Chains A and B, each alone.
Chain A
Amino acid sequence: MTELVLFFIFGALALVGGLTVVAARNPVHSAMGLMLTLFSLAVFYVVQAAHFVAAVQVIVYAGAVMTLFLFVIMLIGVDKAENLSETIRLQRPLVVLVGLTVVVVGVFVAVGGRFAWITGVVGAGPEVNGTAEAIGDDLFTTWLLPFEATSLLLIIASAGALALAFFRPRRREGKEEGAP
């Protein structure tokens, strides 16, 4: 019952946040909308007894990523008149197609499961153990390879970002303050 009430409250908040991200005129409002969505997701994790994931969600997304977003928005100052013309052709039709697919799949899952996700009575899932110990155990034994692959991916991404920033055609540039 508590779970259901929380789901409706924070589900609605997550949707409001998501809509704010795309609809808000002001980039700071968009960032705060995204923040609201991420925070609502953290509440969902808590409800699902995954406390570790919830804490990490708040630390990483709310704490680090969104703070950086805000920093960049404030420091650079995004122009309010953004150029909205498309540079990638077929982008809009593709978006419509993908969006429709997601909606259809969602409806299919909902109807196929006979709304078990709303009533929450059918099929009690496996016992969830969301403690840090359990997740650490799984991560470093069963899922070690995917975990290492992911960390490799992240390192490649950050190295790539550094390379893009450093090895540019030679031009006289001021020393930049190191943003993390």
Chain B
Amino acid sequence: MDGWDVAIVIVKVLVVFALLLAATILLVWIERKVVADMQNRIGPERAGPWGILQTLADGLKLLFKEQIRPNKVEVGMYLLAPVLTLLPAFLIFMVIPIGVPFTVTLGGVERVVSMQGTDLNVGLLYILAMSSLAVYAVVLAGWSSGSKYPLLGGVRATAQAISYEAAMGLALVPVVFYAGSLSISEIVAAQSGTWGGIVPRWNIVPLFLSFVIFFIAIIAETNRAPFDLVEAEQEIVGGFHTEYSGFRFACFFLAEYINMFNMSAIAATLFLGGWNGPTFGLTGFVSWLLPIIYFFIKTFVLIFIFMWVRATLPRFRYDQLMTLGWKRLIPAALLWLVLSAVVVGWRQFGAPWT
């Protein structure tokens, strides 16, 4: 561990930071365009070509707006919440590999630089831990605002997060069975290759049900439509961020989109083979670049589904939300977990009667 290693880590952190911010700017624009298209509108088109700079303009506007602080807020928590919402959002992406490692000679030593913030042995658990921390910001923001609607939003957020975290965790266990590891890079490595040269060895093929459960759960975890009861405009104004304005509101907005990107990236990594894809026998720089492109294609396909769902489905009622979480998703995930355990066990140890 010398100076260069530290420098590599710092560069990685900065790259993740910049990547997530850039992705957010793109995401907001894409979402507005996609949803507009689905609703027969045009969407933003004035700022920059095809309105691509719209997000930047909105961000700058929020930055210069007055930050109103109502009298009844609980000051400490009120100021802490926007920061707390960004932290896990940025931290989650640190364990996701976006490409194959490359070697570089720095300070006379050849070093292998992985395209991943850090490869934790318990990477999957780390993701679950960070995503479970994300709900605190919402709850605290709702509570500390000292007004009715944010509080309702906060309480809804807690119940929703607890319900869907369980389904999410259960849906991920079969992935661990199939990969035999909790480390994200090993889960990706276990998905390389194909069945019969045609079907890629992605987890989505044997674990389709897991993928569906996981995807529903992450839509709920990121509080996106049709699970956006936390900020349901027709019922509770703006939900937990009603009392926030200016840059503090921008923090929540940013975190929502970063979380959407994170969760899509996680789903792509765990179920769609991450950066795996055909390299067509190419070598050198191109073979390094292709996996990164594959990773982003898969991520953006999932993001498109996010937006598609948002534009298509109306919001759930609260009891429907709870019924879906506790009475449908969790039993289905449990049953599927037992089934895949049997399959993996059978394959590893042979039939029980032999």
CB pair B129 A63 closer than 8 Å = yes
Tell me if B125 is interfacial: C-beta within 8 Å of chain A. yes
Beta-carbon contact of A74 and B125 below 8 Å:
no
**Interface SS of chain B:** helix
Return chain B residues, CB-CB under 8 Å to A158.
none
* B121 (CB) vs chain A CBs: closest residue: A131
Any A CB within 8 A of the CB of B154: yes
- Enumerate chain B residues within 8 angstroms of A35, measured Cβ to Cβ: 136
Instruction: Tell me which residues across on chain B come within 8 A of A67, comparing CB atoms.
Output: 132, 135-136, 139, 158, 161-162
Q: Which residue of A lies closest to B158 (CB)?
A: A71
Interface bin, chain A: 20 to 34
A32 CB–B CB distance under 8 Å? yes
Q: Given A67-B135, A67-B139, do A58 and B120 touch, yes or no (CB 8 Å)? A: no
Most chain A beta-carbon neighbours within 10 Å: one of B125, B135, B163: B125
Contact (Cβ within 8 A) A52 B122 = yes
Q: How far is the CB of B107 from chain A (nearest CB, A)?
A: 22
Residue from B74, B133, B158 within 8 A of A58 (CB atoms): B133
Q: What residues on B are CB-neighbors of A180 within 8 Å?
A: 162-163, 166, 326
B122 to chain A, nearest CB (A): 5
Q: Is B232 an interface residue (CB 8 A)?
A: no
- Tell me how far the C-beta of B156 lies from the nearest C-beta in chain A, rounded to whole angstroms: 10
Complexed CA–CA distance, A59 and B135 (Å): 12
CB A115 to nearest CB in B, in angstroms, measures 28
Contact with B along A1-39 (1 / 0, CB 8 A): 000000000000000000000000010100010010000
Contact (Cβ within 8 A) A70 B158? yes
Residues of chain A in range 125-148 having any CB-CB distance to chain B below 8 Å? 131-132
Collect the chain A residues with CB atoms within 8 Å of residue B132's CB. Answer: 58-59, 62-64, 67
Chain B 85-116 against A: per-residue CB contact (8 Å), 1 yes, 0 no? Answer: 00000000000000000000000000000000
A72 to B125: give the CA distance in the assembly, Å: 26
Q: Give the nearest-CB partner of B155 in chain A.
A: A74
Instruction: Known A-B contacts: A59-B132, A177-B322. Give 8 more (CB < 8 A).
Output: A32-B77, A56-B125, A62-B132, A67-B132, A67-B162, A71-B158, A71-B159, A74-B158
15 pairs from A and B in contact (CB 8 Å cutoff): A35-B136, A51-B121, A55-B122, A55-B126, A55-B129, A59-B125, A62-B133, A63-B132, A67-B132, A67-B161, A70-B136, A70-B139, A71-B155, A74-B143, A74-B158
Residues of B within 8 A of A (CB): 74, 77, 120-122, 125-126, 128-129, 132-133, 135-136, 139-140, 143, 151, 154-155, 158-159, 161-163, 165-166, 182, 322, 326
Ranked 4 nearest A-B pairs via Cβ: A63-B132, A55-B125, A58-B129, A71-B158
